[in-house]
Amino acid sequence: MKKGKKKLTSENVTILVPRGGQVIQYFNLTPALPTDTGRGDWIFTEDGSTQDIETLTVGFAENPLPLERELERAVLVISMVQNPSSNGTWRFALGGVATDHGDEDPNNDVVVDIIDNGFTLIAYVQVLENSAEYIPFGFVASFTDDDTGVVSIYESQDPGIVPVRPM
């Protein structure tokens, strides 16, 4: 559970990747500085939505053809949303995500890239073999204070992602 200001209603989102195909889905991440009571209330939403995402499931169809499985993937495009009242700039940092444990994704189903000078994170989700795993992680971002130029690193507390085949 996130700590901080008023929490938006959380939801679980499922993305279905069609057999032999790809899906591109857009999201927004609005980070927040810590408060006196704990972590800031980071908000992760689908583009155009205000519902905070707690768990993101990426499902793949059962597919006996290895070549098609190699081509199937979900591309998650996550844009950093700036809060004008924060008096600074947020960017994805240090790889953009941190899992709760060192080998949280043993199948290497999720690969991330940071682009656009740190304002966008791309996550590629691909499941080659039948499996299901819950990967708890936090987004990692830097905050550069406009007045002092000091850069600080922060991590969100959730969400989690569940790559699964077959769905």
Q: Tell me: the pLDDT tens digits for 48-105?
A: 999 999 999 999 999 889 999 999 999 999 999 999 888 999 999 999 998 766 666 6
Identify the burial level of 117 via C-beta atoms within 10 angstroms of its C-beta, where 0-12 means exposed, 13-18 middle and 19 or more buried: exposed
Local confidence band at 158 (pLDDT 50, 70, 90 cut-offs): confident
Domains observed in the chain: 10-165 (2.60.40.420)
Both tokens assigned to 48: 């155009």
pLDDT tens per residue across span 106-141: 567 889 999 999 999 999 999 998 989 888 888 999
Is-contact 160 54, C-beta < 8 A? Answer: yes
Local confidence band at 11 (pLDDT 50, 70, 90 cut-offs): confident
In the predicted structure, residue 1 carries a pLDDT above the cut 60? no
- The pLDDT value given to residue 14: 95
How many Å apart are CA 68 and CA 66, to the nearest integer?
6
> Which residues are within 8 A (CB) of 104 and not within 5 positions of it... i.e. 6 or more apart?
135, 136, 137
Local confidence band at 143 (pLDDT 50, 70, 90 cut-offs): very high
Cα-Cα-Cα-Cα dihedral sign, residues 140, 162, 133, 159:
positive
Helical spans, DSSP H, in 23-162: 66-71
Any idea of the CA torsion for 30, 163, 160, 33, to the nearest 10 degrees? -30
- The pLDDT value given to residue 93: 97
pTM of the shown model: 0.88
Strands 160-165 and 52-60: parallel
Of the two residues 24 and 132, the one the predictor is more confident about is 24
